[in-house]
C-alpha cells in the first residue's frame, strides 16, 4: 500500500472560494505520484487555473487538507514557503518573463535565487537554451522575442533547476501545433528524469501524445470522470511495465 512518502501531492476534500462568492473548487481529492505525467482538462471556467494556484502555493484553500512532499502546506509557516517553491517549476500562461532581462538572465534567475555561483551558471543555462532551440537568442530581451520564443524561455526557466514537480498552465496555447508538440516533448524529457508533470490544457489532441499520462478532468469546480478513463488516486504502473 502506498504511503505519504510515495506522494508528491495529496488533496483531501479541498474547497476554494474567493471572498464571499460561491466555491470555484469543491470537494477536490486526488493524489499525484513521483515521476508521473498528468493532464488537467476542463472547459473554460471549470477551475483549472485555481487548482494550479493551489499546486504552486500561490493560493491557500478555503477548506480541506493539502500535503506536499509529506508536509501539510496549509499550516506551513510563510518563512518556509520559498524553500518549498524552489522544488516547483511553474510555466504561467502569460509567461511572466522579467522584461529588462535577457533570455539568458531570465533562465538563470532560479539558479541565482538558489545561490548558484556566477561562474557555474553559463554551462547549464546555455545548455538549456540550446535544448529549447534558442541558443542564438540568449541576449534578446522578451519584447524582441516571438510568443513561441517567449514560451520556450519560460519553460527553460521553469525546468533549469530540475524541479520535483512542474506545473504548466496552458503552455501550448500561444504556439502552432508543431511547436506545441515540441514543447510537450520537453516536458516528457523532464518527466523521464523523475519530475512529476501537471499540464493544464484545453487541447484534447495533446492528451493522446503522452501514452503514460493520466487525465484529471474538472467540471464546474469538481473532478469528474465521465469516460471512466481517469485513474486516481491509485498509483500508475511503472514505466518498466511492473506494478506500482
Cα 206 to chain centroid, rounded: 16
| Angle ∠(149,152,153) on CA atoms, nearest 5 | 90
Cis status, amide bond into 200, omega within 30 of 0: no
Strands 214-219 and 71-72: unpaired
Closest by Cα among 171, 223, 173, 162 to 196? 162
Q: Which portions of the chain are predicted below pLDDT 70? A: 1-5, 225-244
Q: Are 180 and 188 contacting, i.e. CB atoms less than 8 angstroms apart?
A: no
Residue 111, pLDDT score? 93
Residue 225, pLDDT score? 62
Phi, psi of 65, rounded to the nearest 5 degrees: -125, 140
Cβ count within 10 A of residue 145 = 19
Q: Are 95 and 150 contacting, i.e. CB atoms less than 8 angstroms apart?
A: yes
Residue 5, pLDDT score? 60
Residue 229, pLDDT score? 41
Q: What is the pTM of this model?
A: 0.84
The CA distance from 64 to 24, in Å, is 14
Query: End-to-end alpha-carbon separation of the chain, Å?
Result: 10
Cβ count within 10 A of residue 238 = 12
Q: Are 163 and 87 contacting, i.e. CB atoms less than 8 angstroms apart?
A: yes
Residue 228, pLDDT score? 39
Residue 172, pLDDT score? 81
List, in sequence order, every residue forming a beta bridge with 15; answer none if it has no partner.
63
Phi, psi of 12, rounded to the nearest 5 degrees: -125, 105
Residue 185, pLDDT score? 87
Question: Which tens digit of pLDDT belongs to each residue from 138-155?
Answer: 999 999 999 889 988 999
Amino acid at each position: 500500500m502506498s504511503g505519504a512518502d510515495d506522494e508528491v501531492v495529496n488533496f483531501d476534500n479541498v474547497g476554494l472560494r474567493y471572498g464571499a462568492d460561491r466555491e470555484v473548487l469543491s470537494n477536490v481529492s486526488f493524489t499525484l505520484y513521483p515521476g508521473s505525467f498528468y493532464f488537467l482538462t476542463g472547459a473554460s471556467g471549470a477551475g483549472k487555473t485555481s487548482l494550479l494556484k493551489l499546486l504552486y502555493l500561490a493560493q491557500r484553500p478555503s477548506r480541506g487538507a493539502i500535503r506536499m512532499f509529506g508536509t501539510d502546506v496549509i499550516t506551513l509557516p510563510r518563512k518556509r514557503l520559498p524553500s518549498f517553491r524552489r522544488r516547483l517549476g511553474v510555466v504561467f500562461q502569460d509567461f511572466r518573463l522579467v522584461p529588462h532581462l535577457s533570455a539568458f538572465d531570465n533562465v538563470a534567475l532560479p539558479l541565482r535565487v538558489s545561490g548558484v555561483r556566477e561562474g557555474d551558471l553559463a554551462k547549464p543555462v546555455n545548455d538549456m537554451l540550446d535544448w529549447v532551440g534558442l541558443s542564438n537568442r540568449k541576449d534578446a530581451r522578451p519584447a524582441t522575442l516571438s510568443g513561441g520564443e517567449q514560451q520556450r524561455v519560460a519553460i527553460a526557466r521553469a525546468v533549469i533547476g530540475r524541479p520535483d514537480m512542474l506545473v504548466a498552465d496552458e503552455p501550448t496555447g500561444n504556439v502552432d501545433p508543431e511547436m506545441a508538440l515540441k514543447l510537450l516533448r520537453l516536458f516528457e524529457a523532464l518527466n523521464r528524469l523523475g519530475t512529476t508533470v501537471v499540464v493544464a490544457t484545453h487541447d484534447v489532441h495533446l492528451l493522446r501524445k503522452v501514452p503514460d499520462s493520466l487525465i484529471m478532468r474538472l467540471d464546474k469546480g469538481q473532478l469528474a470522470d465521465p469516460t471512466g478513463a481517469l485513474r486516481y488516486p491509485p498509483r500508475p504502473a511503472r514505466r518498466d511495465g511492473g506494478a506500482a
